[in-house]
Amino acid sequence: MIAAIALLSASLSLVGCGVASRMGQQVDGSWAGDMLFSDSPQMNVAIEADEAVNPDPMGQPLSVVLRIYQLRELQGFAQASMDQLWSDDEQVLADGMVSRREVTVLPDESVEDSAKLSPQAQYVGVAAFFRNPAGGSWRVAFDADAIRDDGILWSSDGVRLRLEGDRIEVVEGADLQVTSGAMGH
């Protein structure tokens, strides 16, 4: 009887290992995998564009390119003009840039972007490259530690942004207000 119980226990252990392995493969790269198995926090950026975003001279809406930067320091991002970031962000941000992702958002579309948040990143900056930015509201920045700490079980809810006309607005998250400084475009 004891031998049968030992054999049954060993069999169930082996089956359990196989199930756990397959489960790990199925959730790897998903929100569940990141929440349960990842030791690196995720940076989630949700972007929603209105139907009249980035209008051309005739008033027709156009897509908007956004760049999502992980930054060691904020000064270069805060002081750069839109043209400088668009044409030569690697030079302008130099060693302050950890990584860059680019997302294109169409009018009346919602996009979610997820990436690992580097331990080197102190800030997350988002620049929206509009045809005619309204009053300097083309970029926002967030404290990376707030993103790391904002979530359940090490998975951040991230930030939510809305693109309205020629403006980027923060719906969820604490903007560090980097709209002053060199805002030329």
**Predicted confidence (pLDDT) per residue in 115-160, tens digit:** 999 999 999 999 999 998 877 689 999 999 888 765 444 445 679 9
Q: Is residue 177 part of a domain?
A: no
Q: Is residue 3 part of a domain?
A: yes
Q: Residue 147: its pLDDT value, please? A: 83
For residue 158, what is the domain's CATH number? Answer: 2.60.40.4150
Same domain? 59 vs 123: yes
Q: Residue 12: its pLDDT value, please? A: 60
Whole-model pTM: value is 0.73
- Higher-pLDDT residue of 133 and 30 is 133
Distance CA 165, CA 161 (A): 13
Same domain? 51 vs 90: yes
Burial of 56 (0-12, 13-18, 19+ CB in 10 A): exposed
Strand 42-49, strand 159-164: pairing: parallel
Nearest in space to 59 (alpha carbons), one of 128, 168, 132: 132
Sign of CA dihedral 51, 103, 45, 32: positive
Same domain? 29 vs 50: no
For residue 93, the tally of other CB atoms under 10 A from its CB is: 22
Same domain? 86 vs 28: no
Same domain? 16 vs 83: no
pLDDT at 28 over 80: no
Q: Is residue 27 part of a domain?
A: yes
Nearest in space to 139 (alpha carbons), one of 103, 167, 98: 167
Mean pLDDT lowest among 98-107, 161-170, 173-182? 173-182
Q: If you count them, how many residues does the chain have?
A: 185
SS3 132: coil
Q: Which domain holds residue 54?
A: 41-172
Confidence band for 43, pLDDT divided at 50, 70 and 90: confident
Same domain? 74 vs 30: no
Query: 156 near 147, Cβ under 8 Å?
Result: yes
Helix (H) or strand (E) holding 110, with range, is: strand 110-116
Instruction: Provide the Cα torsion 134, 94, 170, 173; round to 10°.
Output: -160
Q: Is residue 180 part of a domain?
A: no
pLDDT at 180 over 50: no
